[in-house]
Amino acid sequence: MSHDPSAALFVDGELVAAAEEERFIRDKHAKGRFPYEAARFCMEYAGIGPKDVQVVAFPYARIPLTSPARWHYARRHWYAPDRALDALFNGNRRYRRNMAKLRKLVGDLGMSNARLEAVEHHLAHASSAYHLSGFKEKTAILSIDGKGEYATTFFGYGEHGKIHKLKEFYDPDSLGGLFGAMTEYLGFEMLDGEFKVMGMAPYGDPDRYDFSRLLKYDKQSIEINTHLMNVVGTRRFKDEQGKGYYFSPKLIEWLGPRRQGDEIDDPYIDYAASIQRLLEKVSLGLVDNYLGDILQETGKLCFAGGVALNVKLNQRILARPDVQELIVQPAASDAGTAIGAASYVVNQLGDEVQPMRHAYLGPGYNNAQCIAACEAHPARPSWRQIDNTAHRCAELLAAGNPVAWFQGRMEFGPRALGNRSILGAPNSPGIADTINEQIKYRERWRPFCPSMLDTVAPDMLQTEHPAPYMTITFDVGEGWKERVPEVVHEDGTARAQVVTRESNPRYYELLLEMQRLTGNGVVLNTSLNRRGEPMVCSPQDALNMFYGSDLQYLIMEDILVCKQEQATDE
């Protein structure tokens, strides 16, 4: 894919390894790259050689001219004749280019016995959520993103392992594309800053501006106003450097200049609130129209695609009376299509896909490797091996210190889930500002999320619904905002991770220690990286990030690194 390339490996129906390429090459989103290092890791972890790989699945397929997708694209891009004609007469050129790169990767890595299988992009998204859900009975499936080959939105259902397609929308009629174009207008990067727009929205008033002119919507279909958004060619707004954006100059005439800088101010916070409300309203209406009957019957919904990372939308979906169980693929963006394409083919081959039990699917390191990284690092870290690691970390946190926490296998997907994390005590005043300003160097208004014990969640989140992956926000229960103010957002919600002993024993032990020391089995948890960088993967990455920030404490497995002790030693 053109962004967020990743690799995943299934062995006998079980997902044994998965990782994003960005983590290995240290280039966020790894745009334009193919997952060489991620694929090498997966094979190495599983202990198999390249010639042992039987099938390589890829989440991008050939779309025939008989499909309505290419005709829809051509009709809606009449104002850019080159694009329209290309869709009709050369409509699979991206597919051919991707397959050429895939064949090269397969050849370069020596997977000489592998058969190549192309899976439609949105079928891969759908499979990543449905086939790994463990659901056997009839289940509604939803996928929304910018676009795949041509499709932007998928409605369907799964039953007994088979995915049935009910309806698709096609480019440029894309809710993900619309939200992405507004992300660009609000001063962030498309395919990276959408969650910042979502985080900005609670500071604004969605009633101040009517964004209904951005699309036509009748609960059965959407049509984006391509005089304003999701534009191509000469309709794009260009800045002084000549960079083109996916909105038009007419949007600037209507809303004013594109936002600049890191502050949140009027009217941009209201624009963020308005586009978030529009996304929620239209998505919920379409779900009701295309999936409502299935949800009434089963109460189960699986959701993937980049828009599935919009946790506010997910909260609204879960609040529907006909949704009893909501499964959101933790790697819902294009990174997760590696899992999806592979699981789809596994199912097609007749193997049973095993449920996804956790997202800790990347590399892990032991104490000896962490020590070796310390000894090789040019900063000459002061380190020592400690006993009762969870208790020692909890003491540092309870004293008001942020701690870099590097444990076990790396997470797959954009969220740190307690293995590649920066942690803080959420009852410690100002800890969020400290992490934003002095450690992550990001916008000071950005919210943080809590990880909590499963015994705490029913009271704090007022629900028994599973939340293992930080993919849903919940209204925080009475009294908890005062107890853990650093992880409650402006609107009184929290994007929570509920931790079980089975999913992450060491992290669970740390949360128990925090409960003993502070009375709250909750920590502030954010990814172990600085602004603009991928989450760390290796001990060397962790040390580089540690010495490039104001962090004072880093715990890698049982190895404690302290800057204060180092200064004393020197």
Active site residues: 3
Residue 243: count of CB within 10 angstroms of its CB: 10
- Residue with tokens 């896909």, as numbered in its chain: 353
- Pairing assessment for the beta strands 553-556 and 403-406 based on DSSP bridges: parallel
Q: Answer left, alpha or beta for residue 413, where phi above 0 means left and psi between -120 and 50 means alpha.
A: left
- List the one residue out of 134, 121, 500 whose CA is nearest residue 338: 121
Bridge partners of 560?
Answer: 384, 555
Determine contact, residues 396/523, Cβ cutoff 8 Å.
no
- Pairing assessment for the beta strands 497-499 and 449-453 based on DSSP bridges: parallel
Q: Among positive and negative, which fits the CA dihedral 400, 401, 404, 409?
A: negative
Hey, what amino acid is at 284?
Answer: L
Residue 111: count of CB within 10 angstroms of its CB: 21
Burial class (CB in 10 A: 0-12, 13-18, 19+), 428: buried
- Residue with tokens 């909260």, as numbered in its chain: 315
Structure tokens, 215:
């699309």
C-alpha distances (whole Å) from 414 to each of 33, 40, 256, 334 are: 18, 21, 32, 11
CA pair distance 146, 87, nearest whole angstrom: 17
- Residue with tokens 């293992």, as numbered in its chain: 468
- Residue with tokens 């100059």, as numbered in its chain: 249
CA pair distance 562, 330, nearest whole angstrom: 33
**Phi, psi dihedrals of residue 301, rounded to the nearest 5°:** -140, 130
- Residue with tokens 């800057």, as numbered in its chain: 563
- The sheet with strand 139-144 has its strands ordered as 162-170, 151-159, 139-144, 300-304, 325-328
- Pairing assessment for the beta strands 497-499 and 493-495 based on DSSP bridges: unpaired
